[in-house]
Structure 1
Amino acid sequence: MLIRLTGLITIERDDAPPRHLSSAQAQVAFARLTLERSGGTSRDLLADTVWPEGLPDTWASALRSVVSRVRGFVVGGDIAASPPIIAHGGRYLLKLPAGATVDLELAETEVTQAGEAYGKGEFADAERLAAAAVATLERPFLPDHEGEWVTGVRERTAELLVSALETASLAASARHDERNALRFADEAVRRAPLRESAHRCRMTAHVAAGNRAEALRCYHELRRMLAEELGIDPAPETQAAYAELLGSPVMTPARTRAPRARSSAPFVGRRQELARLSAAWAQAEDGASHMVLVTGEPGVGKTRLVTELAKRISVAGGVVMYGRCDDKASVPCQAFVEAAGGFVAATPQDALPPLGRATLSAIADPMVSTRTDLLLALTDLLIKTASEQPVYLVLDDLDMADDDTFVLLRRLARRCQGTSLLVAATAATPGHRPTASDDFASAIHDVDRDGWLRRIALAGMDEADVGALIRRVAPDTPDLPKPHELVADTAGNTFLLLELLRWHSDPYRSDPNSGDPNSTKPSLPSGAADYANARMAAIDHTARQLLRTAAAAGAGFELDLVAEAADLAEHEAFEALDTAVHAQLVTETPTTYEYRFVHDVVRRAIYEQASAARRRWLHTRLADAIEHRRAGELRRYSRTMAHHRAAGAIPHGDQRAVRWGWRAAARASQDGSPHEAVHLHRQALRHVPSADHELRAEALTNLGLAQLAAGQRECEQTLLDGAIQALHNGRLTMAAQAALGLADVVQDQPRLRSEAAALIEMLVGTTPPRAVSAIDDVTVGRLLARLARLGRPVPIGTKPALTAMSRELQLLEGPANVRRRAQLAGEMLAVAEAVEDTYEAVIAAHHRAMAAELSGDGTQALAELVDVVDRAGEQLGHALLLDRSVAIAVTQGQFAKAVAMTSQVHRVPDDTDHRIQPVPGTLAARQLLVAGWLRGRADDGWFTGTNEAAEQSLIALIGGERGLPHLTVRALATGVEPLPSGDEWPHVVGLLALGAHELGDPATAEALRKLLEPYAELNCGIGYRTFAGSASFHLGRLAVIVGDWDDAEQHLTAALTGFGERQARPWTALTQLALAQAMEARGRAGDRRRAETLRAEANWTLASLDLRPRSA
């Protein structure tokens, strides 16, 4: 059921012809009962509505008669229908069937929905809904009836109608439907002549139709009407809309230009530039005419800046003229003609300066005027207007003007003395406009030479301004990029910023990372693509060829690689690069000799416009260029190569993409990025040819191991599949690697545990065919360790595996392989204990303790070593522990005890079985050298001569020598003489650091710092067997020598913590002295008092240990 209350009151049903209500009294009663049906209408109010001029004497019975007519009208011929009107408690309540619609209520809903659709940018729906509401609301409401209630409804209906007309007009303007836009706006103004929003709609409609002068005329008519009728000025919103027109001229199809930001964009930032422009206007108001040239790249906001001042001048009542220059314009002096024509059209005749008929005629019809007459007319208008009042003249895109424009500009510069004229011109940064004439540069030089020109170079917005823009444009948008990310993406270009913000704010855009193959929406704003096309159109073909290839190279690119991929000769590449740099499309990255796009969003737009086939070709060309030109440093390019080979992979599998993916994943793992490694391995797996089962087995295993390292639960299934495929393809070593990883995963989980054990048993018990390589003994030993940990019996015949593991551990000595050494030692220990080989167990426990000590976490491993030695009863183990005991005694300042224990040391024969270096039992004397240094004397006879250069130099320094020790320390520190490798390295470097501090030479100290900095958490010693301080101790003291006080404080504070745990009292005291020296030298508030406290504590500790006090 549809009830029409506008026009002829009607009830329409789908199954019956429309029925009309003819009685005027019944019409108004029905209308009120319908509109108030939710709460009902009191009998008195209904009677006052039916008889507004006064109630008849028998109004009660008459009202019942009217209500009866209404009841019959609603029911129609349906006698069995329930009563539609209920009288209760003095009120009448109308009940309509479910689904009944009232035209006035529907129209109000349509007006609301139209406004919401317009706000979302859905202009077609907005115009349709608003037009439907207009069609209803423009019909009269109860034209034959008057009264207070009827008048109120008519007023609300009229307000809704004007709102609908305004929305329909704005939506039509946005859709470039100029005819309807102006029709709706004119009707809104006719119905509400004093409503400024309706006039603003009409101004917008004229602009959409290309009639900016008409829009300006509408504004002046409104201003005059408000002044005459109400004695007021237009509201700020209307004045701002007028000023906005000055910066929104119509785009013509005669030229290609970079897109401009929409006029609705807020003005944010640019405080300094706007202040300079405003200062220039203030000088013009005082009679100092001049010109300001605003330059910058397309889209950076030049026009927005000059029109922002135009708004403010217009709101303040000033005169603003605007004109834009078009390339190859058909009208001479186009910008001046546009500005002058708009001013004349928008200004009442009596407000114009005294102009001759010839002047007005030339401006009105410039095409029929001679060049001379037009130049004279424009000069006459501008000079006379600026003589009477300040004039702000905007010449947009001046670098695209014709020769006559520059002739007129020079003439104004010569004749404007004594006037108040400010010319604000915009132009692209030199190099951005290849069509710019030479006359532009010549004219700018002329006016600059005359002192008439001021320049403002407009750069991109900074992070603070971008943050303010976000708050204005997209305040509630989730997951927006951070301001610094947007600046990095756009270089602060206003147009690109607005495009990205609106694109991110669009709730209907597709997610570029969703991977939905059915999504047809772009992954970048269309405006960004238009901008990229416009910028690319402004450079030559060779430069475009270079940039299209560079866009595929990524965020940064190297010229020679991109040039080879683009098939450009060297001189062509340099010419193209110069063009791109001059156009500010690319810039050089400092210190890297690489280049990058100024706006990365432009790079992505260029890349995405290439076809998929061309992208694959570009990536393949780039990868080939890297392999050709960087053959000796491909490891550095592993990630880049993986990307290009994957992006350029041929369909149905590409082995090059697979293997480069593995190399990049290995590099990612080394760099501490396990999840990136997983991603790269997944990518590689996708490119494995379907028929290459061996390659797939390797890819699955590599992926599973990467998932294991990243802590991802799905690794167990991946590893099992990899092991099975490798085993069935004869890749036993690869299957073993998968089995090792799988065993580690299932050790604490029941799932696949039995499968892992069975797989290992199968591998260690397999005798491979002659064509298949056997598993090496170290890997066999590692598999046996997994069996032991899984609770399975270890088969006999483990000696070859244990021997191989011991030899491998010897190769892993030193700080470079601590983690791998600790892991392999633990595996060897598990096998040795499973087969009850106590000798090999001591060797394994030793290596594990050495690795743990190097990493600074040796307590548990040392306890395990002691336990293994006690159970084994081997002389080898006791000699190792005695070395340790001497080191502890010296570290804690128990020097007499250390000497006594040294006499008990028995050297273990250097046989071929244990392969432990230095030989167990030989380090006690070397530790006493450290004791001699701590005591500051070398005459105790605690240590004997040694052949180690570092130790000889320290002995000499303790004895007071300096020359030869300095040469030795510096030669070792700078790499002139090689340092020992393996476990000896940390101990020797620790001794060198002690010597460097004694020498006090900053250059030598800096060389030692560089050696130690990668190992700041290291303890300097031969594992647990000696101790020569910690790396943090040495780094802190060396930092004091070079004057890096903050670094010294950081390292020395860390050293104090470690020494406290070791009860290393002599080292603690020396650390406190060094820290006191650093603080005194730094001299911050409180440093001196703390230094005094530290020095007092240190000297007390040294005295208690019978060591001489020191100043540092």
Structure 2
Amino acid sequence: MREWSAPALPAGWTTSGQPPFVARHEEVAALDAAWTDALAGAGRAVFVSGEAGSGKSRLVSEVCTRLSADGAAVLTGSCIQEFGAPFEPFDEPLRVLLPAYREDAAEASAVETVELLERVLERTGQDAADRSIGQERVFAAVVEVLRAAATSRPLVLALDDLHWAGPAAVQLLGRVVEGTTDARVLLLGTLRNSPPDRSDTLADSLAPLTRLTGVHRVELVPFTVEEIADYVEIRAGISRAGARESAEVLRELTGGNPFLLRAMWRPVVEAERQGSRRVIELPDSAGDLVRSRIALLDPAQRTVLQLAAVLGQEVDAGEMIGISETSVDVTLEALDAAARAGLIEAPREAGDRYRFPHAIARQAVIELIPNALVLRTHARIAQVLEADFPTAPRLIQRLAYHYTAARALGFGDRAVTYLTRAAELAEGRFAYEDSGRLFEHAAEISPDTDERAELLLRAADNWDLAADTARSRAICEQVLAAGTPRLRLRAAIRFEDASWRPGLPGHRALDLLSSALAGIPHDDGDPLYIEALGSLARATAFTGAVDEGERIGDRAVALARGHGDAQVLAANLRATATLTLRPRELTKRLARTTELTRLVRPVGTEWLGAAALWRAGLSYLTGDRAGMDESERDLVEVNRRWGRHWEYWDACLRYARAFVAGRLDEAATACRRAQRQETAFRGDATSTASAVQSYMVRRESGGLERLRGLITGEESPADRWAPGLLAIYTELELDSPAQRLLDWMLEHSGPDAADSSDWPARLAFMAEAALRLGDRAAAERLHPWLEEYAGLNLMSGMFVALFGGADCYLGEIESLCGTGSPIERFDAALDLAERAEAPLHVAEALAAKAAHLRRSDPASPAAQALASRALAIAEPAGLVRVMRSLGVGGAASARLAGGLTDREREVIGLIAEGRSNRDIAAALVISEHTAANHVRNILTKTGAVNRTQAAMFAREHGLAGGGLAGG
């Protein structure tokens, strides 16, 4: 991005007559230190918090003014309490940067960024949201522009009043902080941290951010007596002794609040000078504080001031003249009189507005207005703005605010109209959280039952787009309790869709859909009825009744084809292609995902993600490498354009591709990425997916020995996930516990077990245990269950646990039992693995076939050749489990430890001693940042998820103690 020019600082920062800036020495030092780090390329974010009037904005303005004088590019933004725009306070900084970024936008992605942000910043227009792209792409675009700007010039973002930021802007704030940790960006944000202005949404968002290295909180405390004396000495020009006497009184009166100090210092000092013994008290409220100043105005002037306060924090003179019921001369004179009384600040230059010096001052005026007059004032403002100021900035949001405030006077319908338009505006700019909240607010006001239900459904749709599926479901339940039959059915469909994606069981969705369907005629030509059948099919399958779900789904798809509406067909293909991964009718579901891809790819909707994900899973089962490649490309693009939960699925697919390729370090990294995303994606749904993924990587890399000390062999399968417990017993060669648990699992494997998504894992882990134990009876019982998967790979869940060809397990069972055709089974498994280009599965099939040949001839040359081929794959990749099956487990362990560099062996030795990154840096004379990088590399290479497991690895491989001695 080429050189760009920062705009002038806000006039209020640089105008003469500002009160003196005192105290805050530590806070200024903290902000200076953050700027120094940012200049070095280590992005920083500092959030300045405190009560109203504590001097947050003044601290930031003082520091930014000085940094600007030293050459920093300072961009400012602020939030408006009542009618802010989507993604405020980032809108104004982006308006400054986007023209320069646009000039350099040559690549397609950069052009897309410009077009996207221009739409987000557009002040007018209410187009429906473009469903070919999601909110995360907007966030990425903002970060992209900020990072580009910082490459040519270090950047300070000063964002004021973040406690009034909308929920979408709060989400963006988090992405900006995370996305600029290695950029020359200093973000300074101010916020109130006490009621009534404290924002729980902001607090929840900041909590995880504060754990990042470059994020700090600065809490402003009240001024001390000495700091107040500094202020008075400068402001009043009196001696230190006199200033201190006044300071003691002022500290008691104001509590050290800078805003109140600014308002109270003069009468206190004058009283002290005159030796007055009259009692000076701080009024009980901010309204009382300004009452004496308001008393200086005549009734007409007070009316104008009250109108200004209701109108907003900043006031346009033209709007005031148009709305005021007094003459132009009286209105202007009233504004000037209020400015002379210090109640409002006059424009500093042409084009500026009148503004209240602080939100406290404005609120103080409003508190003195009778409630009835406040309502009438809101109504007049809304009516005049609507009629006479059609191009006023933020007109839609302002009309929504003022009509909503005046709804008790009969303006409820106008309030609903403009809240709806404001919601649509936010939706069109991808601020889905803001839109959902506005639609909900409109629904609360509307007296019409059907309109309220319609608005709630639109709110649910937006919360779903914002990935808050829990809130979407809760809103749908409201519609289901009071809507008309067709609205109830739409709500039930939305509820099911918001349940399926985070993986919730289908029981509640099934009940709601069944009840709603009972309320409408079963018309095979009704598109809503047809779509509901598709949702019903998926909900049914997600209760475990997969056969019934398949039956309903087939009918839904047939009706959708007969109806001829591509959207209805796509909806039903999406629902019915995602019922199950079981092998029966797999070809049908694969055909549906392919057809869905064809329908939605040109449109670019998020539904392409569902098609890509399930097509990838089905392609893995069939060993279709080309299908997986194409699906991965689609899923990567959906993640780029939509983010949110697609980042989780993208990580899962990357984990799977790396795992079957034998790239275990890469698989471990993808697994950790998926684990970070899983909690946010699944919400209130419980899941052990990431734990199983991690286990699969660790067992292939030989990293399970560290679990031995945590396992007694007496664990109850009723209290644990029994398949996982059995797998651990098997891998650790705990034969008696494994036999006990295998028998228990076989006993508890009922006729419906195969419908569970974890059935393939249960089958694989039971088969491995039976083979380890030589339990022919168990193996023979498992054989027909595995036979259903013949010719396919085994996968539990969606890219949770990948086991390779079922034929490999069948061959091993037939080899153990002396039945069937093991060689044909192994060859089929090998062919499947090679078609899928899955080296891990190739090595497993080769090793299993070699083991079979050695049963009859321990010195078999063919077995040796197969083992050599398997070892050639396994050893470079560090596939310890495969090597152990080949009888070279010790070499595998040594190789794994040898995968660490000399420096990493030193670091892991120090980790085993309990040293922190700082201690390691000091011991090895390296930077703490470099030490942290070494630790991250060690965790990746060893498969450890934390320092404790890395220490255990060090002790197991003789790397603990003497860490400084080298390898």
- Shorter-chain TM-score: what band? 0.3 to 0.5
Instruction: Flag the structure with higher helix content.
Output: 2
TM-score where L is the length of structure 2 = 0.32
TM-score where L is the length of structure 1 = 0.29
The structure, 1 or 2, with the larger RCO (C-alpha pairs under 8 Å, 6+ apart) is: 2
Max Rg structure: 1
